[in-house]
Amino acid sequence: MKWNEINFQTKTWRIPETKNGESLTIPLTEQALEILHQRQIANLKTEFSESEFVFPSNSSSGHLADPKKAWKRIL
C-alpha cells in the first residue's frame, strides 16, 4: 500500500493493479482513515518519513511484505 493510492478526500484506496491485472477502488471507513492518518504521523517521526509506503520496512522491498513474524510475537 502506497500513500499515493490513498485519497483522503474521496475516502478511497485505489489499488492500481490487482492479481488479475485490473485496478480496484476500495471505499475506506472513517476508522480506517483515522488509522491511516495516525500511521502517517507515526511515519514522520521515524527514518521512514520519506517512504512512499504506508507500512515501510528495512527489508529489501522497502515495505512490510509478510507480517507472520510480527503476528507470532503478538500472539
How many C-beta atoms lie closer than 10 Å to residue 13's C-beta?
19
61 vs 1 pLDDT, higher one: 1
Q: What does the pLDDT look like over 6-45, one tens digit per residue?
A: 999 999 999 998 889 999 999 999 999 999 999 888 877 7
In this predicted structure, what is the pLDDT of residue 9? Answer: 96
Q: Do residues 15 and 23 lie in contact, with contact meaning Cβ atoms separated by under 8 Å? A: yes
Calculate the dihedral angle through the C-alpha atoms of 13, 19, 22, 27, rounding to the nearest 10 degrees: -20
Q: What is the pTM of this model?
A: 0.67
Distance (Å, rounded) from C-alpha 37 to C-alpha 54? 10
pLDDT higher than threshold 80 for residue 63: no
